[in-house]
A and B are shown apart, each in its own frame.
Chain A
Amino acid sequence: MTISKLLVANRGEIAARVLRTARVKGIRTAVLRHSSEQEGPAHLIADEVVTIEGPTPVAAYLDIPQIVEVAQRIGADAVHPGYGFLSENAGFVAALEQAGVTFVGPTSEVIDLMGDKIRARAFVEERGFPVAPSAIEDDDPATFVERSRAVGYPLLIKPSAGGGGKGMRVVREDGALESEIETARREGERYFGDGRLFVERYIERPRHIEVQVMGDGQGNVVHFWERECSIQRRFQKIIEETPSPALTPEQRDEICETAAGIARAVNYRGAGTVEFIYAQDGAFYFLEMNTRLQVEHPVTEMVTGFDLVAEQLRIAAGEGLSATQIEIPQSGHSIELRICAEDATEDFRPAVGDILLLDEPRGEGVRVDSGILDGGKVTTDFDPMLSKLIVHGRDRAQAIARGRRAAQDYVILGVTTNLGYLDAILAHPKFRSGDVSTGFLADEADTLNQERDPAATTDILAAATVLSDARLVIALENVPEIYRLMGSWRN
């Protein structure tokens, strides 16, 4: 089939990004807009904007019957889900299938399998791919201690019914294992009324490394190399890069081939990401597979030169992959910064406001995927991510330098953003040397939130504030001479 009209069932920067590629491919486009939503960049790109209704804007974007109806009504032959919302919803895929509309993504069976974390882990382990060693007491309570010992040290004991870190105990040596199991059991009973336990290998200072894969659904799978996403706050990534500074070339091939192998095992169709937890000793374990395009996909595009959305659309149209593995390079270094409306000094509290002034950075190796327009409004209706700043350099040092320059040049006035915080991360010696883990932002919170040098800037800020205060300057001109003089004498 060919795709002649594409509905993008998403919003913000990702909708704009998908629409751009569709336009280049000569596909007619449509995008959604909730009745209460402000105009965004996507609405300026799409040929057609379809208003959707719902009790909340988010509810409207999750309304499967309504969106399927829109696709049919406007004559879209394919739907691109973006990320989030319905992108990993097997019910949505099935509903589109019934309506005769192509879903740009994998089959509902694969979405179901990978969406169930326990089934996915078992599937991957059965096929010989690495998962973190673990032991579940319920499998065979009589042998739990022996099986725990086999997991290896350090290990983590968790109550099966637990959550939020309660009752978790790290064991570093065999001598303490049995007594710690008993303590964890008592704690589990006390906190959760359930003493059953679960043991897994404890990975200290782990990194988050993932691999972009793409399959044609006919057994052909290629990878587009890895991305390192260890810089996270509240378990959400805010800086991603590729290549990972942690991997040797051999490890890189191994982790990328493992990811491609997992995708091959499910006869994967479309774009997907296999996430791994990477230990400081170089071991890596399957975490989960995301069956969609990721927020951070642009860094992969910057180093490979491929347009991943174009590949998705090719595959959805049955045209297959455009390249074989050896034709996919990993050239230079790319970093993505997620620009969020939030206050990094106040525990990343989301910020709202009007965008009074917007000026995006430009220059060699700089790309901005933005979901906001000058004069727009930032509300709490959606995720606080406003845009993504992606840079590319010939090596990591140049990418960091370009990232800092571009973050510093990025002007967003009227709403608090994390631009200064992102710049501080790029400037951090440990980040620069690549010595990071998923705990980096928490461990380095004090150094990252250092205040500006007050003496150097207070004069500038105060002068600019009063001189740009039109009411004040006009009033000053109108003040009777006597008051003006009096003020001067008294100061």
Chain B
Amino acid sequence: MRRILEVDGEEIPVWLASTRQGHVLHMGGREIPCALEDGAGKGAYILELSGTRIPMRIAVDESATFIHFDGRTYEIARTDPADTLDRTASSASRDQLVAPMPGVVVSVSVAPGDAVKEGAPMLLIESMKLETTVTAPRDGIVAEVPFATGESFGGKDVLLRLEPQEETD
């Protein structure tokens, strides 16, 4: 599960994985085991990171996370690369998924003719060293998957097309 974070104007792609030992943050080629425990008080948490425990206060809104720790307050903007895809899809048509930026198809899990449910994973792509699962924006039938595993695509390329939805009255 990926996010693009913006800290002090710098964009940082990150990826969170879960293992049997807990969560692992993947960032800049490093793997950082981490855990977040509830603390006492509203928005109070204890972050466990590389063996140290850091008390902090956290508040989350739609697109930013506010963190107060060690006497300072930070604002981190969050983007879900999948949201960017969804938005592109819905603004044009709910029938096609358009790549927000160039990348490579890592795996394809659907074929033309497949029926998919909203939210079902269809493609795994990689852009900017970040993997993103392309999920179905609605229930439907897959019409076309233009790129195969391992193929590169450009920004704004159509990654997948669904059969047009029948007009409902």
A and B: partners? yes
The answer to whether B35 and A467 have CB atoms under 8 Å apart is yes
In the assembled complex, the Cα of A483 lies from the Cα of B14 at a distance in Å of: 16
A460 to B60 CA separation, bound complex (whole angstroms): 16
Interface flags for B1-40 (1: CB within 8 Å of A; 0: not) read 1010101101010111111000101110001101110000
Checking B3, B8, B70 against A465 with a beta-carbon cut-off of 8 angstroms, the contacting residue is: B3
Complex interface: chain B residues within 8 A of A175 (CB): none
Q: Return A406 CB to nearest CB of chain B, in Å.
A: 10
Are A460 and B121 in contact (CB-based, < 8 A)? no
User: Which residues of chain B have C-beta atoms less than 8 A from A412's C-beta?
Assistant: 73
B89 at the binding interface (Cβ < 8 Å) = no
Residue count of chain A within 8 Å CB distance of chain B: 50
Q: State whether A463 and B73 are in contact (beta carbons under 8 Å apart), knowing that A469-B60, A476-B16, A487-B15 are contacts in the complex.
A: no
Asked if residues A488 and B19 are in contact (CB atoms below 8 Å), the reply is yes
**Does B1 contact A472, Cβ atoms closer than 8 Å?**
yes
Of the candidates A411, A470, A487, the one whose C-beta lies within 8 Å of that of B57 is A411
User: What is the interface of chain A mostly: helix, strand, loop, or mixed?
Assistant: helix
Q: Which of A131-139, A298-306, A354-362 sits within the interface?
A: A354-362
Chain A contacts for B17, CB-based, 8 A: 476, 484, 487-488, 491
CB distance from B85 to the nearest CB of A (A): 14
Determine the distance from Cα of A374 to Cα of B47 in the docked complex, in whole angstroms: 24
Partner of A356, one of B27, B47, B66, B76: B66
Residues of B contacting A359 in the complex (Cβ-Cβ under 8 angstroms):
41-42, 57
Q: Which of A408, A465, A475 contacts B76 (CB 8 A)?
A: A465
A458-484 Cβ-contact flags toward B at 8 Å (1 or 0): 111111111111111101110110011
- The answer to whether A460 touches B69, judged by C-beta atoms less than 8 angstroms apart, is yes
B124-A414 in contact (CB<8A): no
Interface bits A220-240 vs B (CB < 8 Å: 1, else 0): 000000000000000000000
Query: How far is the CB of A354 from the nearest CB of chain B, in Å?
Result: 7
A441 smallest CB distance to B (angstroms): 19
A55: B residues at CB distance < 8 A: none
A452 sits at the interface (CB 8 A): yes
Q: Contact partner of A468 among B26, B58, B74, CB < 8 A?
A: B58
Taken residue by residue from 51 to 79, chain B's Cβ proximity to chain A (1 for < 8 Å, 0 otherwise) reads as 00010111111000111111111111010
- Please give the distance in Å from A20's CB to the nearest CB on chain B: 25
- The reply to whether the CB of B96 lies closer than 8 angstroms to some CB of chain A is no
Across the interface, do B72 and A408 meet the contact criterion of CB distance under 8 Å? yes
Is A341 interfacial (CB-CB < 8 Å)? Answer: no
| Least CB separation from B27: chain A residue | A462
Which residue in A451, A457, A465, A477 is a CB contact (below 8 Å) of B5? A465
Does B131 belong to the interface (CB within 8 Å)?
A: yes
Interface 0/1 of A433-469, CB less than 8 Å to B: 0000000000000000001101001111111111111
Residues of A within 8 A of B102 (CB): none
- Beta-carbon contact of A413 and B7 below 8 Å: no
On whether the beta carbons of B57 and A357 are closer than 8 Å, the reply is yes
A467-B124 CB under 8 A given contacts A354-B61, A357-B42, A461-B67: no
User: In the complex, which residues of chain A have a beta carbon less than 8 angstroms from the beta carbon of B68?
Assistant: 411, 413
Q: Is B107 an interface residue (CB 8 A)?
A: yes
Residue on B nearest A451 in the bound complex, by CB: B8
A484 near B18 with CB under 8 A, answer yes
Complex formed: what's the CA distance from A473 to B18 in Å?
9
Query: Is B43 an interface residue, CB under 8 A from the partner?
Result: yes
**Docked pose: A475 CA to B107 CA in angstroms:** 19
How many angstroms between the C-alpha atoms of A287 and B70 in the bound complex? 41
When distances are taken between beta carbons in the complex, the residues of chain A under 8 Å from B16 are 466-467, 472-473, 476
| A416–chain B nearest beta-carbon distance, Å | 7
A374 to B23, CA, bound (A): 32
Interface centre among A417, A458, A463, A471 (most CB of B within 10 A): A463
When the two chains form their complex, are residues A413 and B66 in contact, meaning their CB atoms are under 8 A apart?
Answer: yes
Give the distance in Å from the alpha carbon of A479 to the alpha carbon of B121 in the complex: 9
In the bound assembly, the distance between CA atoms of A357 and B43 in angstroms comes to: 7
Query: Among the listed B10, B18, B27, B36, which residue makes an inter-chain contact with A459, where contact means beta carbons less than 8 Å apart?
Result: B27
Contacts of B54 in A (CB 8 A): 460
Q: How far is the CA of A361 from the CA of B70 in the complex (A)?
A: 14
Q: Is the CB of A459 within 8 A of B32?
A: yes
Q: What chain A residues lie within 8 Å of B115 (beta carbons)?
A: none
Q: Is the beta-carbon distance between A467 and B23 smaller than 8 angstroms?
A: yes
Q: Does A176 contact B (CB under 8 A)?
A: no
Which residues of B lie under 8 Å from residue A473 when comparing CB positions? 1, 16, 23
A461 to B49, Cβ gap below 8 A? no
A156 interface hit (Cβ, 8 Å)? no
The answer to whether A464 and B47 touch across the interface, beta carbons within 8 angstroms, is yes
Q: Using Cβ atoms and an 8 Å threshold, which residues of chain B touch A409?
A: 71
Instruction: Tell me if B106 is interfacial: C-beta within 8 Å of chain A.
Output: yes
CB-defined A-B contacts under 8 Å, sample of 21: A359-B42, A374-B42, A413-B57, A413-B73, A414-B66, A417-B73, A454-B8, A458-B27, A460-B69, A463-B36, A463-B47, A464-B65, A466-B25, A467-B36, A468-B58, A472-B80, A473-B1, A473-B16, A483-B124, A487-B15, A491-B15
Query: Known contacts A413-B57, A460-B47, A467-B35; can you find 20 more A-B pairs with CB under 8 A?
Result: A356-B60, A356-B66, A357-B57, A413-B68, A416-B75, A423-B72, A458-B12, A460-B49, A461-B7, A461-B67, A462-B5, A464-B47, A466-B1, A467-B23, A468-B58, A473-B1, A473-B16, A479-B133, A490-B126, A491-B17
Q: Hey, which bits of chain A sit against chain B, CB under 8 A?
A: 353-354, 356-357, 359, 374, 407-409, 411-414, 416-417, 419-420, 423, 451-452, 454, 457-473, 475-477, 479-480, 483-484, 486-488, 490-491
Instruction: Please list the 10 inter-chain residue pairs (A to B) with the smallest Cβ-Cβ separation, ordered nearest first.
Output: A408-B71, A356-B59, A413-B66, A413-B59, A467-B36, A463-B34, A357-B59, A491-B26, A465-B65, A357-B43
